[in-house]
Structure 1
Amino acid sequence: MIATRSSLQRLAFSFFLAASNTTRSTILSSIEYTERKVVQLNRLYSNLNSLFTPIHFNAAKDARLLNVIFAEVRRKKSKKSDSHNLGKTTLIELIDFMLLKEITGSDHFLEKHKERFHNFNFCMEIALHDGGFATVCRSVSQPTQISLKRSVDSIENCFQIAEDEWDHRDATLSAARDALNAYLNLKMVAPWDYRTGVSYFLRTQADYTEYFQIQKFMQGKDRAWKPYLARILGLNYEAVAHKYQIEDEILDKQSEQQKKIAEIDPDNQDRGELVTRIAIARDEISEAEQRLDGFDFHEAELEINKRVVDAVEARLSEISENLYDVDVDIAQLEKSISVGIKFDIKRIEQIFTESELLLPASVTRSYEELVDFNRKLTKERNKELRARLTKLRDERDGLVIEHKRLSDERQKLFAIVQQADTFRKYKALQKQQSLKQANLAYLEGQLARVDNVADLERSLRELRGRRDAATTAIEISLSRGSPIKQNITILFNRYVARILDINGEFIVTGNSSGNLEFAIRTKDVTGGDTSQDRGHSYHRTLCALFDLAVLKALEDTPFYHFVYHDGIFEGFSNGMKLRMLDLIREVIGSGKIQYIFSIIDADLPRDEDTEQPVKFATDEIVLELNDQGDSGRLFKMPPF
């Protein structure tokens, strides 16, 4: 027979009634725990237990207990004794490392002393607010290769998990953060991830300087942390973040606008004047174009230059020389052709008679034969000379024609070249036109910049309007407040009054720029301002009390449910220590907040009656340190 759900419920209720009071309490405690939602540190250990003792925190069902990091200075008379070199603060850095802090290039002790810690692999188990646990495994040698696993039950030793059983094996730092962020599921800080505010709850000595701007944000601007804090307080964080984003855009636009204004001539900043000057410049250019088009030059004439003229002159000179040579040759040929045989035999005979000499008959006969031969030879020669003469005359005719053509061309060229004034005017008009066009381009560029500045100004007006809307949204959010902010304000004042016997005011206002301002002020019983918050011890106390107020106000929400305060009792009076310890126990009494703190034996509160140091229960001390050699340190090795 299968039991119904109602029958099982009746059976369980009957068993509860029949149980003893002790058993009933145990059952109620168990039921209460199953409904409790927490994000707390459960265990921290390494692969080298001999050098790093595993730490089992009081978490989840044991969160009602304190988590004390207790350092004992046993060699009080030794000058070499140093309680500040045992590892109390180093533990915070190690926890931060296991919460996936980026350490590459930083002064983190695991990065600075990487060679010493090279062989260490660490595991940290975190209790999740929606049930179960998340285990993070990270090595020093490969800090960007991280393994993660989610489990229903606590895992005794993550180093015994098979590689294929990890949910994420050797994930990158970014991927590992995304996975852990999903595991933690801190809806109260969305859209930010878990890393953004984790340092608020890992307070080193350096993180007590400012109430809200912890060391992580010390170098950053307000936009890095104020929207986040507004989110935690239940205020309109979107308007706060949006306003900062808009102000960034305004600064960028203003910077760009100033650059554009610097590029504008002071005489050209009036857009109307610029438009008029551009219209006039364009009209002047148009008129000049018409004047240029009015010059009556043939296309060939516009290409004339000195080289063309010189070439024509040179060819004419060459033709003239050729004509002279041809004319000389023709004259000589004509003369040669016109000259016959001039030798007269009768004249020779007369000369011989007058000289009473007898001319032999043989000579006369030979001469006649010679004349006859010469006539034949001359005839042939003249024939060739006439052919040569004809050729020279044809050549001359060609040279004359070319000479005439080139002479006419030269005349035209000289006519154009001689119009010097016309060319000068044309060139001057061209130059003037170029200047006008350059001036037009400059004016148009100035107008473009003026228009750009105007566009930027319109964008700025739109951005300022959006900024004003965001400012209004912030003001409305402040005026309405939120239950979370109100609860934190009340709790903080209660805690301050209880510990310091003064009023502590947590104030959120808007400044003159419309941005949020967060402040903590202390008032005496008469309402006057006190200066107590200016001392380091009081300042540290107020920081711690504010953390407790925030955690208490959000203990039932998907938020952080742990805090580590380093050296919280240093510098306190004994009464303050006792009151602080009582308050802490009261805050964690619900089991929803895990409180971790470090303390040295000299800072232990003392019983007011016996004046003996108040001792913590054995199960509340999760780590003991001392100054008696390496074995007493967090890492069982020489100091670093």
Structure 2
Amino acid sequence: MKLSRLYSNKSKIFGPIEFNSGLNVVLAEIRLAKNNDKDTHNLGKTTLGRMIDFCFLAGRDKNFFLFKQESIFEDFIFFLEVELADSTYLTIRRGVREHTRICFKKHLAAHQDLTELADSDWDHFNLSFDRARDLLDGILDWRAVSPWDFRKGLGYHLRSQEDYQDIFQLRRFSIGKHKDWKPYVAHILGFNHKPILDYYSKLDELEGKRGIAQTVQTELGGSVDDLSKIEGLLQLKGKDADKKQQLLDAFDFRQQDRDLTDKLVEDINTRIAELNNRRYSLNQARRKIVESLQEDQILFKPDQAEKLFNEVGILFSGQIKKDFSQLIAFNKAITDERRVYLKEELSDIEGELQVIAEELDSLNKHRSGVLSFLGSTDVFDKYKQVTDDLVRLKADISMLEKQRGFLGRLQELRKEIRSLTDSCVKLQSDIETDVEFQNTNKSSLFSLIRLYFSEIVEGVLAHKGLLSVSPNEKGHLEFRAEILDDQGKSTSADLGHTYRKLLCIAFDLAVLRAHLPDRFPHFVYHDGVFESLDDRKKANLLNVIRQYSDFGVQAVITLIDSDMPPQVDLKVPVFSADEIVLRLHDEGEDGRLFRMKSW
């Protein structure tokens, strides 16, 4: 598919532009000296690409000039004629005021003017926007971009200045995720897009499941996380609740009294005795440790001993004093280490005593309550207490059942997370296998594109270019385009804007050439194509573009006259009159794309 004609219902303001099947030049001439140093001239060479995008049913953007200045453009209707793969033509009609109402007309001859065509003569008149997109996708039949529609990769065929920042990631994808563009780029480069799409889908699903699992875990809190234990507690508490319900139904608390008596004797008193015995043992151990810490002092002082021995006339040599000092130092080191261990043991004992004290306090309160119940002679007091116990049991059961639900959901989520993780690992392996195959297969589409890319870069810069695709450690594809030096090593030349733009152009042309046999768009629009290049590289790039036009690629390039490539022959202009499809200039309104005052 190629561009054929772009025009409007107001030809005196927006005149018709007829495209060639090969090279198309939009030339902006700066005739006024005061404009020579300006970076932008607002003549319309960049706007032309946006108008083509608008006619290809771009979505409404409030910042797009047609809508931002809708009062100026509301009466405009634009027509884009394109050549289809079967050499027939399609005209797309889209107005500004009714930009969501689209018309289509197929015809055999090129360069038609359908501005006056009756409503009934359109093949499809005033289709809704979504329906029109679907229908246009079918008419264009760009099978090579399937399963995406025609809009997905259109930006790679309409490169504005803002789209030269990254070879692979267009400006429109800069605020999105890698899944929005990487599978598509991989696909047009010849890689299997399906495992890549599935991988991103599974990762999103996995992230969602993990988020839900975290929420469920938070809801569960620090409570029991063992389903078997919860089931056991439910069984025991359910049995207790049944017993208490039977007591209430029978209004007979003798069995309750016996059970509480047994529980008091067998459980509570026994546990209290055990804890008191343990507390006694711990207190004894604590006392001994405290005494040991106080006794671990060396009271012998060599200096005082020396003075005493001198007074009684006993010879006390320096060597004996030295031996005592070393012995004291040795004993002190041992004592210090022992004190560390004793303090640690003392800390553990005091911690356990604290826990025992808290448990004894709880048990004593429980025993007091049981004794109070047993000592009560009022059957209604007992009825009330049993009722309270039953309410607490039911509340516990309700909480446990809620926890069981959370745990069941959590276990199911963990199972799904494991399954998704396994799927991601499998897809990662599939991606790596396909990338290795496409890289090593000399006849693959990617190998062909890589070869064309290198030839273009070498033809312009006299250095080879390298296009590479490889998965990173997380399984995501990484795309790289580099310029190589004479030793085949990557250089930093591709970091500058000018060289990055060249790599974008080389990438677009290489992909188009490789897809020439396919149902694929065969045109490309490059804005400011020669900007910032030296004359030699301009000439080289123009030769490459002309060569690719001869191959069948329709190239639409824009430039200002100061960026014009050098003339090889002074008698022959750089561009022929047929190649220049639009000439703009800064001498008044007639030189602009829209021949009207600036808005």
Is the 1:188–1:557 Cα contact (8 Å) retained in structure 2? yes
Describe the superposition over 1:346-366 as per-residue Cα deviations: whole angstroms up to 9, x where unpaired.
Answer: xxxxxxxxxxxxxxxxxxxxx
Q: Deviations over 1:61-90 (max 9, x none)?
A: xx3xx2000000001245897753100111
- Work out the CA distance in 1 between the residues paired with 2:225 and 2:386: 30
- Identify the match of residue 173 of structure 1 among 129, 132, 140: 129
In the alignment, what sits opposite 1:423?
A: 380
Give, in whole Å, the separation in 2 of the partners of 1:202 and 1:81: 24
The one-letter amino acid of 1:634's match is L
Q: Does 1:474 align with 2:438?
A: no
Distance 1:82 1:513 in 2: 42
Quote the residue 1:438 is aligned against: 395
- What aligned pairs does 1:230-241 form with structure 2 within 5 A after superposition? 230-241=186-197
The alignment partner of 2:71 has SS state of coil
Q: SS state of the match for residue 151, structure 2?
A: coil
Matched, 1:615 2:574: yes
Hey, what does 1:69 align to over in structure 2? 26
Work out which of the residue numbers 202, 226, 231 in structure 2 matches 1:270: 226
Equivalent residues in 2 for 1:4-83 (5 A)?
A: 39-59=1-21, 63=22, 66-77=23-34
> 1:130 aligns to what?
86
Distance 1:221 1:494 in 2: 32
Q: Distance in 2 between matches of 1:630 and 1:526?
A: 53
3-state SS of paired residue (1:138): strand
Give the Cα–Cα distance (whole angstroms) in 1 for the partners of residues 226 and 452 of structure 2.
Answer: 61
TM alignment of 1:279-428, pairs within 5 A: 279-295=235-251, 421-428=378-385
1:465 pairs with one of 413, 422, 432? 422
Secondary structure of the 1:158 match is: coil
Alpha-carbon separation, structure 1, partners of 2:572 and 2:592: 23
Query: 1:608: Cα distance to partner?
Result: 6.2
Partner AA of 2:476 in structure 1: N
CA contact (8 A) 1:605 1:614 kept: no
Distance of 1:83 and 1:55 partners within structure 2: 22
2:526 paired with 1:570: no
**Is the 2:567–2:574 Cα contact (8 Å) retained in structure 1?**
no
One-letter amino acid matched to 2:591: G
Q: Deviations over 1:298-325 (max 9, x none)?
A: xxxxxxxxxxxxxxxxxxxxxxxxxxxx
Compared CA separation, residues 170 and 576, structure 1 to 2 (3 A)? same
> Aligned partners of 1:77, 1:254: CA distance in 2, in Å?
62
Q: Which amino acid aligns with 1:165?
A: D
Find the partner of 2:591 among 625, 629, 632: 632
The 8 Å contact of residues 605 and 613 in structure 1, kept in 2 or not, is answered as: no
Shift of 1:637: 0.6
Distance 2:40 2:228 in 1: 77
* Distance in 2, Cα, partners of 1:264 & 1:576: 67
Distance 1:258 1:82, change over 3 A: closer
Q: Per the alignment, in what secondary structure is the counterpart of residue 160 of structure 1?
A: coil
1:167 Cα shift?
Answer: 1.4
**TM-score, with structure 1 as normaliser:** 0.72
Q: Deviations over 1:351-402 (max 9, x none)?
A: xxxxxxxxxxxxxxxxxxxxxxxxxxxxxxxxxxxxxxxxxxxxxxxxxxxx
Which letter does structure 1 place at the counterpart of 2:385?
A
Report deviation, 1:420.
7.1
**Structure 1: which 5+ residue stretches go unaligned?**
1-38, 298-418
Distance 1:252 1:83 in 2: 47
Amino acid corresponding to residue 423 of structure 1 in structure 2: F
For the structure 1 residues 143 and 278, does the alpha-carbon distance in structure 2 shift closer, same or farther, using more than 3 Å as the test?
same
**Residue 223 of structure 1 contacts residue 244 of structure 1 at CA under 8 Å; is this kept in 2?**
yes
Identity %: 36
The aligned length equals 473
How far is 1:528 from its partner?
2.2
- Aligned match of 2:152: 196
Determine helix, strand or coil for the equivalent of 1:595: strand
1:516 maps onto 2:477 in alignment: yes
Moved more, 71-80 or 200-209: 71-80
Q: Structure 2 stretches of 5 or more lacking a match? A: 254-375
Q: Distance in 1 between matches of 2:547 and 2:398?
A: 79
- 2:118 aligned with 1:162: yes
CA distance in structure 2 between the aligned counterparts of 1:107 and 1:438, rounded to whole angstroms: 60
Q: 1:603 aligns with which of 539, 549, 563?
A: 563
Is the alpha carbon distance of 1:461 and 1:112 closer, same or farther for their aligned partners in structure 2, counting shifts above 3 Å? same
Aligned mate of 2:105, from 149, 166, 172: 149
Does the 8 A contact of 1:92 with 1:564 survive in 2?
yes
**Between Structure 1 and Structure 2, whose CA radius of gyration is higher?**
1
Give 1:11's aligned residue.
none
AA matched with 1:548: L
> Aligned AA for 1:445?
K
* 1:581 maps to 2:537: no
Aligned match of 1:225: 181
* Preserved contact between residue 604 and residue 613 of structure 1 (Cα < 8 Å): no
Q: Contact 1:72–1:83 at 8 Å: present in 2 too?
A: no
What corresponds to 1:559 in structure 2? 520
Letter in 1 for 2:189: L
Does residue 252 in structure 1 map to residue 213 in structure 2? no
Instruction: State how far apart, in whole Å, the 1-side matches of 2:92 and 2:191 are.
Output: 33
Shift of 1:252: 0.7
The equivalent residue for 1:394 is: none
Shift of 1:155: 5.7
1:613 Cα deviation from its structure 2 partner: 9.8
> Within 2, Cα distance between the matches of 1:236 and 1:52?
44
Matched, 1:186 2:136: no
TM-score (norm 2): 0.76
Cα distance in 1, alignment partners of residues 12 and 567 from structure 2: 36
The CA RMSD measured in Å over matched residues stands at: 1.8
Deviates more, 1:186-195 or 1:280-289: 280-289
Q: Which residue of 1 aligns with 2:265?
A: none
Structure 1 CA distance for aligned equivalents of residues 62 and 566 of structure 2: 40
| Aligned counterpart for 1:502 among listed residues 463, 472, 479 | 463
Compute the displacement of 1:115 (Å): 0.7
Per the alignment, residue 108 of structure 1 pairs with: 64
Aligned counterparts of 1:529 and 1:100: Cα–Cα separation in 2: 40
> How big is the shift at 1:614?
5.1
Q: Deviations over 1:587-625 (max 9, x none)?
A: 1113x2100010101000113686x99531001000000
SS of the aligned residue for 1:637 comes to coil
Contact 2:5 2:111 in 1 (8 A): no
Deviation at 1:48, TM superposition (A): 0.8
